[in-house]
Amino acid sequence: MKKRSGIIATKIGNSSYFEDNGKALPVTVLKVDDCIVSAIKTFEKDGYTSVQLSSINKNKEIKKIKKPQQKIFANLKIDPKKVLKEFKVDPENILEIGSILKANHFEKNKFVDVTAVSIGKGFAGVMKRHNFAGLRASHGVSVSHRSHGSTGQNQDPGKVFKGKKMAGHMGAKRVTKQNLKIVEIDTENGLIVVKGSVPGKKNSVVYIKDAVKKSVVWKRI
């Protein structure tokens, strides 16, 4: 499958979608404003091919934004946008500057990958962060029932390995949820309804792309 541009959207929230047979599906509603092609990269000039999209109004005067962005929006003759996102594409899928992508960029019943920043949980213990069972409720355990227990090694190597699951900052990371099925598209209102959950809180920015793994044909060995 040829790699094409994704689009920029906003997470509206979660809901339920009822199929014709009455089955209820947990879904996430995504709002797509006009995604305008603001720049392109070519293999001859930049060494790779990509499309830069701009979307979601910034509600600022053009003179109050950074000068490199002022030039972009002035050439397009549009209001400043809050989000600029670059998507790598194959050479045959490069779009013209000024082109507009909307919700109908995707089709119903197709699969997509959605990327966003997950909700931040602050400093969390191992039971919440890594689903540890914790220590015993009695039989010698005192005070540290929710601790992670021993983390060290023997005298050799005598250290805690990097990447050990421990308490720490949880969430607020870039996460991609793969293979989400599009159950409905409302082109008039710019809505895409996908089955399942999407990272991030309400009104957060998400990036939608064609599912990568659905194009791979696995051979049975």
Looking at residue 9, its pLDDT comes to: 96
Residue 105 phi/psi, 5° resolution?
A: -65, -25
Q: Where along the chain do its domains lie?
A: 7-119+174-215, 121-170
DSSP characters for 35-54?
Answer: EEEEEEE-HHHHSS-EEEEE
For domain 7-119+174-215, the question of CATH label 1.20.1050.10 is answered with no
Q: How far apart are CA 50 and CA 46, in angstroms?
A: 9
Looking at residue 221, its pLDDT comes to: 52
Q: What is the pLDDT along the chain (221 residues), one digit of tens a residue?
A: 688 999 999 999 999 999 889 999 999 999 999 999 999 999 999 999 999 999 988 877 777 787 878 888 888 888 888 899 999 999 999 999 999 999 999 999 999 999 999 999 999 999 999 999 999 998 889 999 999 998 888 888 889 999 999 999 999 999 999 999 999 999 999 999 999 999 999 999 999 999 998 866 555 55
Residue 34 one-letter amino acid: D
Looking at residue 102, its pLDDT comes to: 93
